[in-house]
Amino acid sequence: MGDMASDNGLAALGAEGAAAAAHALSLPAEAYGNDPRLEVMWAMKAYNHAEVYFNLISSVDPKFLKLTKMDDKIYSSFRETFKDLDIKLLNADDLKSEKAKETWRPFCNQFEGLVEDFNYGTLLRLDCEKDYTEENTIFATRVQFFAIEIARNREGYNNVVFKSKSSKS
């Protein structure tokens, strides 16, 4: 994962930029234009979230993880809405096509005010058996991430990551 983000990212923003990062990242992405410094901060936040999550599923049996207070509701609603979605190996159209967006939008919006930062950007692995790489990563909303990863955990798809990491210990 080390090549996706620079360890010097915050330093590159300068002291003033880094000091403003906490406030800036507390607002939704739509509040900004295309400020490159903010894009770097968002990318770093998403990368850090991805790294923490991958380390978590690598070290704890995923079927025991609880990602939110609403895991049961998110999972049942997700599987009700996306019965046939192949969560083992996603493709970009599963989240980004116009048809997919028509289904995802109401699904995500039902969690507004219930799931913290439900519409914030985060990174999602396309192939759940692989690490976060440029080719295996897509940008998704936080509730999409939760829905897919909760399902992957409960349905056993993330076990491959846990078993491969724990067998190397």
Looking up tokens 């915050």, which residue turns up? Answer: 10
How high is the mean pLDDT of the chain? 82
Say what the pLDDT of residue 8 is: 38
Whether 19 maps to a domain, the answer reads no
Q: Which two tokens stand for residue 73?
A: 């509701």
Contact 121, 27 (CB under 8 A): no
Could you report the per-residue pLDDT of 60-87, keeping only the tens digit for each?
A: 889 999 999 999 999 999 999 999 999 9
In a domain, 131, yes or no: yes
Within a domain: residue 18?
no
In a domain, 119, yes or no: yes
Burial class (CB in 10 A: 0-12, 13-18, 19+), 78: buried
Domain residue limits at 119: 35-167
Give pLDDT, residue 164. 82
User: Domain containing 106 — which CATH number?
Assistant: 1.10.3560.10
Phi, psi (degrees; rounded to nearest 5) at 66: -120, 115
Domain annotation covers residue 13: no
Q: Is the pLDDT of residue 20 over 80?
A: no
The total number of structural domains in the chain stands at 1
Residue 66: its pLDDT value, please?
Answer: 93
> Is residue 109 assigned to a domain?
yes
Residue count of the chain, please give it. 169
Statement: the pTM of the whole predicted model exceeds 0.85 = no
Angle at 59 between CA 87 and CA 91, to 5 degrees: 20
